[in-house]
Amino acid sequence: MKYIRAKANFFRYPDDKLIVAASWIIRCMKRSTIFIHPTPSIATIEEAYADYYQKLVESAGGSRLMKVQKRDSKKRLSDLLQELVFYVNVVSDGDLVKLYSSGFPVLAAKRKGQSPDTPGSPFLTDGRKCGEVAFGFRPVGRDMLYDYCFATQVDDKNQPIWEEAQTTSRSFKAYQDGFDPGQFIYFRVRARNKHGCSDWTAAVMFMVR
């Protein structure tokens, strides 16, 4: 198996990050035409994910027992994803296109003198208060900066009119406020290093609550 590979180790993820990451992996694997006989099955992963999500909700402000049950459920989901990533790596055999299509984060040798890859899995979700959104994306490497921007309007061709880009070094999770409830907004991000910038991600649309 080649050095370029998908990685897991999801038990170390914060709960909110694991919920997003696991959901994206399940979605990618279910529609994949490459990983057609996954081990364990996606149905098994979905069952573990649903149990973990339920335990996470129940443990919020709950008893110590509920928190222990949540931790056990998280461990089971993480272990299953670790088994699944082994299958993904065997099938992919170092092919980056196949690896990225799985939805898993990818560990690759550093490239010298090249601009970075495009970040993956950009998302928008509800923020902590009305008129605020949370946003994030899958990083592409260490010591990277990311340009991101929002759009609240579209042109006559229904294309987003992008506002001024902002820069961050964080990939998960940040917040942006100042939007109107019920408003549709758009989000995109690109990676940047001293050699240049990646392509922008496809725009993500979201209705602010």
Q: What is the pLDDT of residues 118-144, one digit of tens each?
A: 998 899 999 999 999 999 998 887 778
Query: Rounded to an integer, what distance in angstroms lies between the CA atom of residue 10 and that of residue 80?
Result: 10
Q: Spell out the residues 6+ positions from residue 15 whose beta carbon is closer than 8 angstroms to its own.
A: 56, 70, 74
HSE-CB for 84 with a 13 A CA cutoff: 32
Q: Spell out the residues 6+ positions from residue 198 whose beta carbon is closer than 8 angstroms to its own.
A: 115, 116, 117, 118, 119, 140, 190, 191, 192
HEC secondary structure over 110-176:
CCCCCCCCCCEEEEEEECCCCCCEEEEEECCCCCCEEEEEEECCECCCCCECCCCCEEECCCCCEEE
Q: Are 200 and 189 in contact (CB under 8 A)?
A: yes
Q: What percent of the chain has pLDDT over 90?
A: 59
Query: Rounded to an integer, what distance in angstroms lies between the CA atom of residue 197 and that of residue 147?
Result: 9
| pLDDT for position 110 | 53
Is the pLDDT at 4 greater than 70? The verdict is no
Token pair, residue 70, equals 């949540």
**Residues 36-73: tens digit of each pLDDT:** 999 999 999 999 999 999 998 888 877 888 889 999 99
Give the start-to-end residue ranges of the domains of the chain. 5-107, 120-207
| pLDDT for position 64 | 85
Q: Are 109 and 94 in contact (CB under 8 A)?
A: no
HSE-CB for 200 with a 13 A CA cutoff: 12
Q: CATH assignment of 120-207, given 3.30.1490.190, 1.25.10.10, 1.10.287.3510, 2.60.40.10?
A: 2.60.40.10
